[in-house]
Each structure stands twice: as structure tokens, then as C-alpha cells.
Amino acid sequence: MNAIRLLARESKAIHKYFALAVFFVGIETLFEVLIPLLMADIIDQGVVNKDMGVFVSRGLGMLACALLSLATGLLYARFAAKSSTKLGQLLRDKQFARIQRFSFTNLDRFETSGIVTRMTSDVTVVQNAITSGLRPLARGPIMLVLGLVMSFLINAELAFVFFFVCPVLALIMVWIVSKVAPQYPRMQSALDTINQVVQENLIAIRAVKAFVRGDYELERFDQVNDEVASITRQTFHYALFNTPAFQLCMYTTIVVLMVTGSRLILEGRLEVGQLTGILSYVLQILNSFVMLSNVFLLMTRSMASVRRIEEVLLEPLAAQSENPVTTMPDSTIVFDHVDFKYAAAGRKNVLENIDLTIEPGTTLGVLGGTGSGKSSFVSLIPRLYDVSAGALTIGGVDVKNYDLAFLRDQVGVVLQNNVLFSGTILENLRWGDENASMEDIERVCRIACVDEFLDRLPEGLDTRLDQGGTNVSGGQKQRLCIARALLKKPRILIFDDSTSAVDTHTDAKIRKGLASMEGLTQIIIAQRVQSVEHCDQIIVLDDGQIVARGRHDELLSGSAVYREIYETQKKRRQKPWLSTVVRGI
Ligand SMILES: Nc1ncnc2c1ncn2[C@@H]1O[C@H](COP(=O)(O)OP(=O)(O)OP(=O)(O)O)[C@@H](O)[C@H]1O
């Protein structure tokens, strides 16, 4: 419970509301416990002695107790709701803030759907534990102890029956909790799976429809939905025993008390009012057991959610330097014998012995087959992942020593499948720099060739984009993402196959525009040799290793691999039908 307790302590408001809720529920219980005592007096003194004074005074006492118990109960509900709302807000805030600081290594450890469930359903479970659990948790023990004390005070002989009932009830409680507890984590991860299926389906809905996979998706959903239903059934199968088992104990106790009590009354050792009083306390004691067992179930469930939330809050973040550097002397990038693998325990390096210097203001082209390690290579520069061996420096400073936000501000990344957000085009561009002037925006739109299609959009820069930018074409989306990255004015700009969806003419135009940006270091991952042949340096990656490096002309004459890629692509350009055939295969 470390993280959540720490968080609760951090928020003084939660502390205060929580303490007030416990205080008021304690008072409410005290008033409730007094009522049977007053009732016993009414019967034994008021009814037996026909004393109106006792009727009125005890009757008013009972009324006052009931009203005060109602008022304190309402105050409890108010403060419990406040503390649960605050805690829920804090848990969502802290988780979201933590996720923003996650590196890709952290994100690889969580499913997106799992994070969504932790931020929604798990937080709700914890909140419910407070709103529905705090009251019985505070009332249960108080009512149990006071009920026992009062019963013994009324008649110790009769109250002895509790010595047999209480252990039986405690055993039932332990049995149910031990059966139900392991089911809750299963239930929450089944919810993760259902979220994942829904999320994947919605994200890929176009592919689902294009491939007519609706029925298959429906079957997949039914499977996980059935699993959730089955785990829920198993969980509540045991939980359902709770109330009937306790009721059985309660009625058995009442019968035993009535039989023993009647005998004691006949023997003149017990008053009728006293028996009524004890019977009321039986109800209170057994009710407190029912409450406690329900609370235990609730707590067991919320513990499973607490653990899942804590996994997010306690996920170790990428180490930050104690004195983070916030200036970059220059943008020289040096890979010094860098090895990299995604999982520390992984056997094979994804990148092996990368030794390379990229001078400031120059352009590096990166070619290589699918899975050769191109994206992994560039992801090390903004420290989306940390190198596994060797060192990566920018401007002579190890990237691990930079302030992370500062480093990422210096490095712009345009991915092949960059995401646009719902909102206007202008809002999306301003994501790169919220204070950018209209002049700057027009300039980056020109460089990224956004201006070419802006006129055709109904409201130009104010055109609204749907979620994920689905109402613009793939090429338009890529151009908008390039403009957005340029607006950030980075010193290093990485294009990860980010012009794959634009035609060669526009690609060349964008390249020309970028070349005019003085001092900008560019790293261009591309499938087409044409997109990198102008670069100051080109590397060819194969299975995580640099197998060729140099300028276009040097590589053409000196690298068989490069020449082969070049020749194949040249043939395709001369015979466009060939690329269609190849793609078809
Ligand atoms: N997040 C990840 N976790 C584990 N392995 C990964 C991850 N991302 C990529 N890999 C693996 O690392 C290797 C290199 O992948 P990478 O994406 O860097 O290749 P790439 O050259 O960019 O490929 P492509 O041209 O298809 O985008 C591949 O074997 C891939 O399966």
C-alpha cells in the first residue's frame, strides 16, 4: 500500500475528510448502540411499573439518539464522498503524470488497455471501497464490542451464547475471503483484455471492414466477454454465501436466546425487557459481522486494484542525472560502440557495435531492410530508449546527462505513423510551439508543402481534424506532422520513413525546403534511395549492424549492398509495373 498511503498523506484534504468521516461514523454508532438500552428500560420500568415519566423520558431519549444518529450518518456520508472523490482524482492525476514520464521501455511493459483500466475501473474500485466500505469498517468493530459489553452487562449468562457464535462467524468470513480474494486480480486483468479487444477493434476498424473481419472480431469479443462473465460468476459464487450463512447463524442464535431467555424469565432471573434488549444487540452484533465480511470482500477487491495502480506509480523511471544539463554545446551526435536490446534479459542485440559520428548541420540517410534496426537506432537519440552498452553523446554530453525534457525539445521526431489529435489544423501545428507566430506557421507549412493542400480544405488552417486525423490523406498527415516538428525549432530532426506516403515530387520539394534550414542536423530513414542520395552521409543497416557507410557516389562504387538496392529501385522507377507486381507478391 506504500504509494497510495504516501499519496493520501500528501493530500491534506483527503486526510481531513477521512478523519472527519471516521469520527462521525463512530458517533453515529454510539447513538445507535444506546437505543436498545433505552428500549429495555421502557419495557422493564415503563411497561411493568406503568410509569409514564419513564415512557416519555426514555422515548425522547430514543428519538434524540435516532435523530443524532441520522445527522452524524449524513455528515459521515458527506465526508466519505469527499475523501473518495479527492482520492480518485489524485490517483488518476498521479497515474497520468507518471505515464507522461514513462520511457518507451516502461510503456513496453504495460498494455495500453491495462493502463486505461487502471486509470478508470481500478480507481473506481478503490473509491467504492471508501464510500461503501468505510462506514461498515468503522461501525462493525464498535458495534461488535459495545454490543457484547452491553449484552454481558444485561445478563452475562445469556450473553455467553456469543462465545459460540462469534468464532463460527469468524471462520465463515475467513473461508469466503480466502476463496474470493484470488479471483479479483483475475477479474481486473480480464477487464484489461476486454478493453484491449475493443480498443484494437476501434483503432483498426477500417482494416476490419476492408478485410470483412466483422464476424471474426465479434467471435473474439464474445470469447473475452464470456471469460469476464465466467470469472465474475466464480467470484460471486462464493461471495453469495456471505449473507445466507450469516442469516442462518443469526436466526439460530435468536432461537437459542429465546429458549434460554424464556427459561431464565420463568426462573425469575431475567426481565422481559432485558431479553428484548439482548435480542436487539444480537441483531447489532450479527449485523456488524455481516458488515465486516462484506467490507473484507470489498477491501480484498480494492487491494487487487491498489496493487495494479501501484505498479504504475512505482514503475521505475529512466534514471535522471542529478545535475541535468540544459545547454547543448553543439549538435554533434556520436554513437560510441553502442549495443542495444529492448529487454535487458533479451539474448540478441537489436543494434550491435554502432560506431558513428554525425556532424552538426549535416544530413544522415539510413537505409536497411525491414527489422534491420533503423527505428531502434534513431529512438536512442531523444532517449526514448537507453543504450545497453557503449555511449551516445550529443555535443560531447552523454544523453543520459541531459535534462530529458530539454533533450527532447532539441530533437524533433517525425514518425511514419505520427498521430494527429482531434482539433483544428492550427491547434495541431501549435502542438510543436504553442506561441508560434503566424509567420512561423506559414513558413513551416511552406517547407513541409502543407500550403499546397491547405487551400483545398474547407476552412484552411481552421479545418477540424477528426480523432487520429482520419479526415486527411496519409500524405497530408505526414506533411502536417513534418510542419509540426519544424515549428518546434529542433536542432536535430529525425524523419522515420516520414515521407513514405508523399509522391516523389513533393518529397524532393520538402527535402529542398529542409536544406534551406541552416544548422539543422537531419537523420532520414527511408525506403527509397532517392530520398537519401543527397545526404552528406548514408549508412546501410543489416541485422542491427552498419554494413556500409559513405556518400551516395562512394557507396555506389564501393558497396555491393547499396548498389543492389539502388539498381533494384532504379528498375522499378523505369518500369513502374514492376513495383506493382512486387507489391502484389
Ligand atoms: N518495442 C519493441 N520491443 C521488442 N522488440 C522490438 C520492439 N520494437 C522493435 N523490436 C524488434 O527490433 C528489431 C528492429 O526493429 P526496428 O523497428 O528498429 O526495425 P526497422 O528497421 O525500423 O524496421 P521497419 O523498416 O520495418 O520499420 C526487430 O526485430 C523488431 O522485432
Q: DSSP string spanning 124-177? A: HHHHHHHHHHHHHHHHHHHHHHHHHHHHHHH-HHHHTHHHHHHHHHHHHHHHHH
Identify the pLDDT of residue 359: 93
Q: Which of 280, 313, 346 is the last residue of a domain?
A: 313
Domain match, 262 and 376 both: no
Asked, for residue 554, whether it belongs to a domain, the answer is yes
Give yes or no for residue 379 CB within 6 A of ligand 1: no
Residue 325 lies in a domain: no
**Under DSSP, is residue 334 helix (H, G, I), strand (E, B) or coil?**
strand
Residue nearest atom 24 in ligand 1 by C-alpha distance: 370
Amino acid at 353: N
Residues 286, 385, single domain; the answer is no
- Give the span between the Cα atoms of 145 and 159, in whole angstroms: 13
Res 146: pLDDT: 81
Report, as ranges of residue numbers, the positions in the chain whose pLDDT lies below 70: 1-11, 467-470, 500-501, 571-585
Closest by CA position to 469, among listed 438, 436, 433, 424? 424
Q: Residue type at 528?
A: R
Atom of ligand 1 nearest to the CA of 416: 27
Domain assignment of residue 347, yes or no: yes
| Cβ of 374 less than 6 Å from ligand 1 | yes
Asked if residue 239 and residue 122 are part of one domain, the reply reads yes
- Check whether residue 279 and residue 386 sit in a common domain: no
Q: At what angle do helices 183-203 and 121-154 cross, to 10 degrees?
A: 160
Which of 313, 348, 372 terminates a domain? The answer is 313
Which amino acid, 185?
P
Q: Measured between alpha carbons, how far is 236 from 132 in angstroms, rounded to an integer?
A: 18
Same domain, 508 and 571: yes
Helix (H) or strand (E) holding 413: strand 411-414
Whether 386 is in a domain gets the answer yes
CATH number, position 420:
3.40.50.300
158 lines ligand 1 (CB under 6 A): no
Q: How far is the CA of 355 from the centre of ligand 1 (A)?
A: 19
Q: 329-362: b or e for each residue (b if 16 or more CB lie within 10 Å)?
A: eebbbbbeebebbeeeeeeebbbbebebebebbb
Q: Residue 9: what pLDDT?
A: 63
Q: Whose CA is nearest to atom 4 of ligand 1?
A: 342
Domain count, the chain: 2
Instruction: Point out the ligand 1 atom lying closest to the alpha carbon of residue 368.
Output: 21
- Indicate which CATH number applies to the domain containing 233: 1.20.1560.10
Q: DSSP 3-state assignment of 332?
A: coil
Question: Are residues 367 and 302 located together in one domain of the fold?
Answer: no
Q: Which amino acid is at 484?
A: R
What is the tens place of the pLDDT at every residue in 491-501?
A: 999 988 777 66
Among 376, 414, 417, name the best residue to mutate to test ligand 1's pocket (greatest count of ligand atoms within 8 A of Cβ). Answer: 376
Has residue 94 been placed in a domain?
yes
> H helices within 101-120, ranges in order?
104-108, 112-119
Centre of ligand 1 from the C-alpha of residue 104, in Å = 13
Q: Whose CA is nearest to atom 30 of ligand 1?
A: 371
Does the Cβ of 341 fall within 6 Å of ligand 1?
no
Kindly give the distance from the C-alpha atom of residue 342 to the centroid of ligand 1, in angstroms, as a whole number: 9
Long-range contacts of 266-269 (CB under 8 A, 24+ apart): 269/155, 269/157
Residue 252 shares a structural domain with residue 340:
no
The minimum-distance atom of ligand 1 relative to the CA of 379 is 18
- Domain membership flag for residue 156: yes
Nearest to 293 by CA among 188, 182, 166, 187: 166
User: What whole-number distance in Å separates Cα of residue 110 and Cα of residue 393?
Assistant: 29
Q: Are residues 73 and 123 in the same domain?
A: yes
Ligand 1 centroid distance, CA of 218 (Å): 30
Separation of 88 CA from ligand 1 center, angstroms? Answer: 37
Domain's final residue, options 313, 344, 359: 313
The SS3 assignment for 424 reads strand
Atom 16 of ligand 1: nearest residue by CA position: 373
370 and 431 in one domain? yes
Mutate-to-test residue for ligand 1 from 352, 375, 386, 531, highest number of ligand atoms within 8 A of CB: 375
Ligand 1 centre and the CA of 221: distance in Å? Answer: 29
- Would you state the pLDDT for residue 578? 45
Extract the C-alpha cell encoding 74. Answer: 449524513
For residue 524, what are the domain limits?
Answer: 333-584
CA 59 to chain centre: 54
Residue 382 sits in the same domain as residue 415: yes
Centre of ligand 1 from the C-alpha of residue 419, in Å: 19
List, in sequence order, every residue forming a beta bridge with 414; answer none if it has no partner: 495
Q: How close is the Cα of 372 to the center of ligand 1, in Å? A: 7
Q: Is the ipTM of this complex over 0.90?
A: yes
* Ligand 1, atom 5, residue with closest C-alpha: 342
CB 429 within 8 A of CB 487: yes
* Ligand 1 midpoint to CA 409 (Å): 24
Q: Indicate which residue's Cα is closest to atom 28 of ligand 1.
A: 371
Compute how many other C-beta atoms are within 10 angstroms of the C-beta atom of residue 534: 16
- Cβ neighbours of 94 (radius 10 Å): 18
What pLDDT, on the 0 to 100 scale, is given for residue 3?
A: 56
Rounded to an integer, what distance in angstroms lies between the CA atom of residue 386 and that of residue 8? 33
The reply to whether 318 falls in a domain is no
- pLDDT attached to residue 6: 61
Q: Looking at the structure, do residues 35 and 80 belong to the same domain, yes or no?
A: yes
Rounded-to-integer distance, Cα 131 and Cα 76, Å: 10
Q: Identify whether residues 168 and 89 lie together within a single domain.
A: yes
Q: Is 324 a member of any domain?
A: no
370 in ligand 1 pocket by Cβ < 6 Å?
Answer: yes
For residues 253 and 282, the answer to whether their CB atoms sit within 8 Å is: yes
Take atom 3 of ligand 1 and give the residue whose Cα is closest: 342
Model pLDDT, residue 7: 61
